[in-house]
Amino acid sequence: MRIKLAQLKLVTGDIEGNYAKIQDVLLQSMLNKDCDVIVYPETAFSGYCCGALWDRQEFILDQEKKIHKLFMIAPPELCIIIGFVSYHGQRKNGFPRLRNSVAVINNGRIQVYDKQLLANTGHHEERKYFEEGTYSKVFKVYLQGNKEYTIGTPICEDCWYMDHTRNIPQEMKDLGAQILISVNQSYFYYSKNFVRDELYRGMSYTLNIPVVSVNAVGLGDIGKNILIYDGNSMCYDKGGGIITCLKSFEEDVKIVEPFIDRPYTSDFVYTSIESYAKSNKYKEITEALIFALKEMYELNGNKRPQVHLSGGLDSSIVVALLSLAFDKDRIVAITNPSSYNTKKIFDNVTHMVEKLGLTLYNEPIQDIYEKILEVDKNSFTTELTEAAKSCMQATLRTCLGLYNCHRFNSLLVSTTNHTELCLGFSAYLDISYAGVMALIADLSKTECYELSKYLNDQIFKDEVIPYSLYNSKCKPSAELPDSQGVDPIDYLIQSGLCCEIIRKNKSKNQLVKDFLNKTLTPDYFPVLKVYDNKSIYEYCDFPTFSKEIDKSFKGLKNSVFKTAQCPPVPLISPYNRGFSKRETLINKYSY
């Protein structure tokens, strides 16, 4: 059986554009007669993160009609397997009844399987829009040369049997499936591809049948979070041997031929998830964020990316990633110094732009700031606090940034990181919180240290990001009127705590136990040079760590208002703040 894996870039709501790609693969296959089966991703016509579009009957029917267009084109001896959303009438409340389905087009008929295990945790809410399929089924397909096969077509979450009480792949095998062909919209997080490999490898080995998984490429969003679909479609022969893995973050079409009648011997060397993540984490993150940048700006009219450089680590990482995603002449780099900025900070900015070959626009805010203070003094009898003055400077930079977007036909990129996002370390409408996307807001401060080192050592092979920003005892500072020369956050502790609470959903009691038992997540508390190569257990004592836990929960609780106003965050971890956590603004619970 020659199977063509059609890993396509799908755009949310672009039914006609997505269909054109789907049809092009089909017509090329018919012309070349190079395959027996074509497999497309889940929800291939519409994209996956459609949200309110799922509530519109005309939208559902528009994408469902495309199934019949393919049916009219395809020859009967060719089998097409494609995901779509099937319409089942109206609910009593007026909204459409829907199922997440796959169509099997072959031998003059369309057969349909409905997804049974709906994804409904984290970033997913399939139960809001879709009804569950009622039973497992398999399909007889008839290919050229009078070949007959029985296939099972699980849809994405159906395959993740370890998270459910049912094993859909096993049920399909028991019904006679000789091969499993799964359509997917599987989002990225670092090390996800190895997790997928373990899943499908184990499935093909245990069931002793080939397993094919076709994933999409592109971006989806759920308002406050951006999901990255990374491709990496896979094919395994019976016995767990990997035949192919398609490209990451690219459209890719490839023909494979799994051996249904005999096992395949693989030379794959098994490794652990921990070693895989350690060796690939920042490479994967870099590729994912560059892809997200390119896609987001293309989908928003190919405007210029604009970043405001403070001279600190976060904006340095963002401009470095921008330089890897776009031509240097396209990037708008602006700095807005005041009297509170040190010469060292300005030197960092000029160092970065010179290394990257960018034009730097210097628009100081000091004169404007002093004029506003003068107006304020003449308008009110009370003097502003230092915190209020800091808020003024931070939001003044935002005002300059926004009007410069009109000058350059550009879109701002936010520069806040995960730790600051969690703790609310910003003013409302701070320049670091403004923009079309918060590029590194799913990276903790310590992960920013590690990413900077990776970019310098492995990508630029030069000190592009100033070494002192991430690999010395230089303390980060916002350099605002109330900054006191250093940020009021111990990032080496708080970075890990915020990750444990958000990504692992750990309670205060669990964090206390993990510290005492030395079982905190190692990746969240890495041994860095800034620690003097000390572990977290050597870096601070238990009373200090306990106080930092309280600070974390207090900061997380108080910062939901600010988090809700942050730009959408591209996700590189399984869970982040925003939609996937569904935090509430009103919360009187004491942690």
Q: What is the CATH number of the domain that holds 425?
A: 3.40.50.620
Q: Which helix (H) or strand (E) segment is 318 a member of?
A: helix 313-325
Tokens of 399: 């005002």
**Residue 142: left if φ>0, alpha if ψ -120 to 50, beta else—which one?**
beta
Residues 326 and 353 in one domain: yes
**Upper half-sphere CA count for residue 120 (Cβ side, 13 Å):** 13
Asked if 273 and 195 count as a contact pair (C-beta separation under 8 A), the reply is yes
Asked if 143 and 77 count as a contact pair (C-beta separation under 8 A), the reply is yes
475 falls within a domain: yes
Residues 260 and 297 in one domain: no
Residue where one domain finishes, among candidates 244, 270, 296: 270
Give the total number of structural domains in the chain: 2
- What pLDDT score was predicted for residue 570? 95
400 falls within a domain: yes
How far is the C-alpha of 252 from the C-alpha of 25, rounded, in Å?
11
Per-residue pLDDT of the chain (591 residues; tens, 9 = 90+): 899 999 999 999 999 999 999 999 999 999 999 999 999 999 999 999 999 999 999 999 999 999 999 999 999 999 999 999 999 999 988 899 999 999 999 999 999 999 999 998 878 889 999 999 999 999 999 998 889 999 999 999 999 999 999 999 999 999 999 999 999 999 999 999 999 999 999 999 999 999 999 999 999 998 889 999 999 999 999 888 889 999 999 999 999 998 776 555 554 444 444 554 555 899 999 999 999 999 999 999 999 999 999 999 999 999 999 999 999 999 999 999 988 877 878 899 999 999 999 999 999 999 999 999 999 999 998 999 988 998 898 899 999 999 999 999 999 999 999 999 899 887 667 888 889 999 999 999 999 999 999 999 999 999 999 998 887 656 676 666 656 566 778 999 999 999 999 999 999 999 999 999 999 999 999 987 777 788 999 999 999 999 999 999 999 998 888 888 889 999 999 888 877 778 888 888 877
Residues 265 and 317 in one domain: no
Alpha helices in 81-146 (DSSP H): 126-129
CA nearest to 229, candidates 47, 469, 62: 47
192 falls within a domain: yes
- What pLDDT score was predicted for residue 430? 85
Contacts of 457 (CB under 8 A, 6+ apart): none
- What pLDDT score was predicted for residue 267? 47
Structural domain boundaries, residue 381: 285-570
- What pLDDT score was predicted for residue 483? 60
How far is the C-alpha of 292 from the C-alpha of 326, rounded, in Å?
12
203 falls within a domain: yes
587 falls within a domain: no
Asked if 337 and 364 count as a contact pair (C-beta separation under 8 A), the reply is yes
- What pLDDT score was predicted for residue 566? 87
Kindly report the number of other CB atoms within 10 A of residue 367's CB atom: 9
Residues 461 and 323 in one domain: yes
How far is the C-alpha of 198 from the C-alpha of 421, rounded, in Å?
33
Residues 217 and 312 in one domain: no
Residues 73 and 128 in one domain: yes
Asked if 23 and 230 count as a contact pair (C-beta separation under 8 A), the reply is no
Residue where one domain finishes, among candidates 213, 235, 270: 270
* Torsion sign (Cα): 296, 301, 303, 307: negative
In the sheet with 225-230, reading across from the earlier edge strand, the strands are 217-221, 225-230, 569-570
pTM: 0.94
Asked if 60 and 101 count as a contact pair (C-beta separation under 8 A), the reply is no
Residues 319 and 218 in one domain: no
Kindly report the number of other CB atoms within 10 A of residue 250's CB atom: 13
CATH at residue 260 = 3.60.110.10
Alpha helices in 56-163 (DSSP H): 57-73, 126-129
Strand-pair partners of 111: 104
CA nearest to 231, candidates 184, 179, 290: 184
344 falls within a domain: yes
218 falls within a domain: yes
577 falls within a domain: no
Residues 355 and 245 in one domain: no
- What pLDDT score was predicted for residue 484? 59
Residues 255 and 292 in one domain: no
Residues 257 and 320 in one domain: no
- What pLDDT score was predicted for residue 261? 65
Residues 511 and 367 in one domain: yes
Give 244-247's long-range contacts (Cβ < 8 A, gap of 24+).
Answer: 244/5, 245/193, 245/197, 246/5, 246/7, 247/7
Residues 164 and 226 in one domain: yes
Give how far Cα 571 sits from Cα of 133, 216, 224, 545, Å. 29, 16, 10, 28
- What pLDDT score was predicted for residue 482? 57
